[in-house]
């Protein structure tokens, strides 16, 4: 399994816009893609900003390529997500999963 990580930052005053969009619009689309295994959405408040860390889980690099295009390191950020964020990472990182909580 591969984890694809990405960060976005929102204004604390409208910090619910991005999670709402991700969970109500993006996640259902991802769920239809072969090889998508789910996601984690993490939140950290830092003063007037909220940082979001998005971890998507995939069966393989090939499954990610079907979603992200041949440039695996380029972030896929739709216009609606851009509108909800102050800034975001233009690139992503990928990690091979070596252990999971259910393997304890």
Flag whether 81 is in a domain: yes
Question: What Rg value do the Cα atoms of the chain yield, rounded?
Answer: 14
Flag whether 18 is in a domain: yes
State the pLDDT at residue 23.
Answer: 97
Flag whether 104 is in a domain: no
Flag whether 79 is in a domain: yes
What is the tally of structural domains in the chain?
A: 1
CA 63 → CA 1, 25, 40, 101, distances in Å?
A: 10, 20, 18, 23
Q: Domain of 19: which CATH number?
A: 3.30.70.100
| Predicted confidence (pLDDT) per residue in 2-11, tens digit | 999 999 999 9
| Predicted confidence (pLDDT) per residue in 47-99, tens digit | 999 999 999 999 999 999 988 888 899 999 999 999 999 999 999 999 999 99
Taking the C-alpha atoms of residue 96 and residue 50, their distance in angstroms, rounded to an integer, is 27
| DSSP per-residue codes, 13-35 | GGTTHHHHHIIIIIHHHHHTSTT
Which residue range is the domain that position 20 belongs to?
2-99
Strand partners, 46: 49
pTM flag (> 0.85) = yes
Flag whether 92 is in a domain: yes
Indicate the Cα dihedral angle 37, 76, 17, 23, nearest 10°: -20
Give the phi and the psi of residue 62 in degrees, each rounded to 5. -60, -40
Helices (H), the chain: 17-21, 27-31, 61-68, 79-84
């Amino acid at each position: 399994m591969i984890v694809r990580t990405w960060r976005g930052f929102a204004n604390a005053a409208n910090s619910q816009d991005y999670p709402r969009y991700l969970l109500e619009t993006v996640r259902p689309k991802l769920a239809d893609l072969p090889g998508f295994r789910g996601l984690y959405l993490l939140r950290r408040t830092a003063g007037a900003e909220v940082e979001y860390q998005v971890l998507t889980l995939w069966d393989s690099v090939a499954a990610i390529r079907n979603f992200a295009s041949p440039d695996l390191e380029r972030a896929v950020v739709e216009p609606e997500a851009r509108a909800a964020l102050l800034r975001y990472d233009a690139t992503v990182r990928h990690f091979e999963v070596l252990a999971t909580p259910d393997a304890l």
